[in-house]
Structure 1
Amino acid sequence: MGDLMGPRLYSCYKCRNHVALHDHIVSKAFQSKNGRAFLFSHAMNVFSGPKEERQLMTGLHVVADVHCADCREVLGWKYEKAYEDSQKYKEGKVVLEKYKIVKENW
């Protein structure tokens, strides 16, 4: 029966544009300044803003804000570069803030 519903996914809270699949979650143990966040290996229907260096809880990173492709709302950020070896696994991955996404097909 679950196969008939399609994949579990997350959508933009503002316009319901599909932005990520549940199966692409790498970690649910992330924090943003506004609360919990999820690290995804991939995101869809989003675009990245300009890259900038940002001091985060885990050190200095080059990141770019991630925007919904439909309504342009900032949903999180993408790790472009990590300076510390222990943080390199984040490169190319996307963090979406939990309060900015909603579950679909659950």
Structure 2
Amino acid sequence: MSTNEPTPAEMYRDRPVYYCSGCAAVLCLQDELISKAFSGRDGRGYLMHSATNVKLGKKEDRPLLTGVHTVADVFCVGCDERVGWYYHKASDHSQKYKEGKYLLERERLIKDNAWRLEE
């Protein structure tokens, strides 16, 4: 890595992020949020452009509320908890916008606004 490139810790410093509720690993920037109007396995879910510190499980076809999608569960690399899924492919044309995006479950996230108190 070049000395001019920011480290992951520097990249997220002072930026609003979502953390893993299991181990506090940074999972994504709040700027990556597309929609909060999604459903996960255990409640509400957030559709995100990208995620970090995650690994994908096995690809599978899964019947969801909006039809059958090819997805892979997403796991936190810090604690190995399932935090949502990744949309590989949508069978219905109207759902193609989800491809390449992450559904992260709200119950598995901690929101940090990176607010600073005046000293």
The reply to whether TM is greater than 0.5 is yes
**Aligned alpha-carbon RMSD (Å):** 1.0
Figure out how many residues of one structure are paired with residues of the other and give that number: 102
Mind listing any 5+ residue stretches in structure 1 that lack a counterpart? none
Partner of 1:79: 87
Question: Which is higher, the Rg of structure 1 or of structure 2?
Answer: 2
SS in structure 2 opposite 1:23?
helix
Contact preservation (8 Å) 2:40, 2:104: no
Mind listing any 5+ residue stretches in structure 2 that lack a counterpart? 1-12
**Residue 46 in structure 1 maps to residue 54 in structure 2:** yes
The C-alpha deviation readout for 1:19-76, integer Å capped at 9, x for no partner, is 0110000111001231111000000010100000000000000000000011110000
| Structure 1 length-normalised TM | 0.93
Partner of 2:45: 37
Aligned match for 1:28, one of 33, 36, 52: 36
Amino acid paired to 2:109: I
Partner of 1:100: 108
Identity among equivalent positions (%) equals: 46
